Amino acid sequence: MEAIWLYQFRLIVIGDSTVGKSCLIRRFTEGRFAQVSDPTVGVDFFSRLVEIEPGKRIKLQIWDTAGQERFRSITKAYYRNSVGGLLLFDITNRRSFQNVHEWLEETKAHVQPYQIVFILVGHKCDLDTQRQVTRHEAEKLALAYGMKYIETSARDAINVEKAFTDLTRDIYELVKREEPFKRTAHIITL
């Protein structure tokens, strides 16, 4: 794929520790499932091009919390200039679902007056037999927040492309429609 892009979007990936954020990012950017991932070590920013329409590419710059996922431990700098985010919980961990609200509140506090376009992600959907959160209640919550809901697995490569691509499309639609969003969101245009 040619390295020419229309826009560059900065995305963040948030959610409780161990929900699978790093694995999801790596599956998307490196195409593999990194079984052991040290939460504290590693690169915390990745990038990949996505083609949203034939010939129209967007460069995603994806930030990982790299082990700082206790509440209020993530600094403002992490959120700065982000236009979109994947808000993850683990479908086998009810607590991580209950914390979705706190993550949103924390994000809001950091990015005001700007907004970030989120997609709610129920991760580790390959572990359906250990599920503690039904698809129905997750969809209901997403609807209440005006977000899309998707279930993903980094292990089995389920919906990983779709999660990132759907989010990118949603941001792109906003950018096309809304001049103010374009200005405030710090989107880099070439």
User: CA-CA distance, 190 to 186, in Å (whole number)?
Assistant: 13
Contacting residue, 48, 80, 155, 186, with ligand GDP by CB under 6 A: 155
Q: Which is nearer to ligand GDP, 39 or 132 (CB)?
A: 39
Q: Binding partner of residue 126 among Mg ion, ligand GDP, none, CB under 5 to 8 Å per kind?
A: ligand GDP
User: CA-CA distance, 7 to 32, in Å (whole number)?
Assistant: 26
User: Which of 26, 42, 138 lies closest to 89, judged by CA?
Assistant: 138
Q: Which is nearer to ligand GDP, 7 or 79 (CB)?
A: 79
The count of residues interacting with Mg ion (CB under 5 A) is 3
Asked if residue 118 lies in contact with residue 108, where contact means CB atoms within 8 angstroms, the answer is no
User: CA-CA distance, 171 to 69, in Å (whole number)?
Assistant: 25
User: CA-CA distance, 124 to 126, in Å (whole number)?
Assistant: 5
**Tokens found for residue 84:** 């979109």
Q: Binding partner of residue 23 among ligand GDP, Mg ion, none, CB under 5 to 8 Å per kind?
A: ligand GDP
User: CA-CA distance, 155 to 126, in Å (whole number)?
Assistant: 7
Interface stretch with Mg ion, choices 17-25, 54-62, 89-97, 147-155 (CB under 5 A): 17-25
User: CA-CA distance, 93 to 111, in Å (whole number)?
Assistant: 27
**What does each C-alpha distance from 112 to 138, 148, 157 come to in angstroms?**
25, 21, 34
* Subset of 25-54 contacting ligand GDP (CB under 6 A): 35, 37, 39
CB of 27 to ligand GDP, least distance (A): 8
Contacting residue, 6, 18, 42, 80, with ligand GDP by CB under 6 A: 18
CB of 22 to Mg ion, least distance (A): 3
* Subset of 18-37 contacting Mg ion (CB under 5 A): 21-22
Residues that bind ligand GDP (CB under 6 A): 17-23, 35, 37, 39, 123-124, 126-127, 153-155
Residues that bind Mg ion (CB under 5 A): 21-22, 39
